[in-house]
A and B are shown apart, each in its own frame.
Chain A
């Protein structure tokens, strides 16, 4: 299994809603990432988990709350989002070690109304 699976593929939510994005991998990777990509822009790093502990938070607003319940799962909890948070949210995982590539999921396209 060489896939990173993200659900849902599409999500529409209101500004008062609470929703969660889910990411799963069974490749034994111990580093997992959340990226955000707006149209015609490069992916921007949000969070990195290493061995289930948050190691990087790129000054992301608290309305985004990551969680890594175990080595295979990564969640992104969303609350009180703004319309400008509409974007493609990408999950990735990476083997530990030097010079390893990231494996990306297909993303969740989020629209905030």
Chain B
């Protein structure tokens, strides 16, 4: 039972254009969402997060949008750069003391020069 899904296994974008990565979840108890970037054989690196009380959070080139009614979030990267090429995971948690974090299936982003 995959509670967090990223339906696009891969995405290819031209340098300078917008990258949009999507994520859907099923558990209505999730109240905190994060995006991580990962290179092979390395640990995930935190990018940006959003709490369920917000519908948008922005940090530089990265913006995360949350649509609670649709149980959907998206990460926008503008402008995309070749160094952004990596696997992107969305993750969700119900909060609480131990903050159990559930990862999505991942999307491989390739930014073409």
Say yes or no: B42 contacts A45, CB within 8 Å: no
Task: Take A99-B95, A109-B41 as given contacts and tell me if A45 and B100 are in contact as well, using a CB distance cutoff of 8 Å.
Answer: yes
CB-CB contacts below 8 Å: B99-113 with A: 99-106
Q: How far is the CB of A38 from chain B (nearest CB, A)?
A: 12
Cβ-Cβ contact count across A and B, 8 Å cutoff: 61
Give chain A residues whose Cβ lies under 8 Å from the Cβ of B105: 41-42
CB-CB contacts below 8 Å: B22-81 with A: 32, 34, 36, 41-46, 49, 51
Consensus secondary structure, chain A interface: strand
Most chain B C-beta atoms within 10 Å of own C-beta, residue among A33, A98, A101, A104? A101
Interface size on B (CB < 8 Å)? 23
Give chain B residues whose Cβ lies under 8 Å from the Cβ of A104: 36, 43-45
A90 adjacent to chain B (CB < 8 Å): yes
By beta carbon, the residue of chain A nearest B5 is: A42
Task: Take A88-B41, A99-B32 as given contacts and tell me if A56 and B46 are in contact as well, using a CB distance cutoff of 8 Å.
Answer: no
A66 adjacent to chain B (CB < 8 Å): no
Spell out A's residues near B (CB within 8 Å).
4, 6, 31, 33, 40-45, 48, 50, 55-56, 88, 90, 92, 94, 96, 98-107, 109
CA distance in complex: A90, B73 (Å): 25
CA distance in complex: A28, B10 (Å): 37
Give chain B residues whose Cβ lies under 8 Å from the Cβ of A96: 97
Say yes or no: A31 contacts B99, CB within 8 Å: yes
Give chain A residues whose Cβ lies under 8 Å from the Cβ of B34: 101
CB-CB contacts below 8 Å: B9-27 with A: none
CA distance in complex: A4, B46 (Å): 13
Say yes or no: B103 contacts A31, CB within 8 Å: no
By beta carbon, the residue of chain A nearest B48 is: A101
By beta carbon, the residue of chain A nearest B95 is: A98
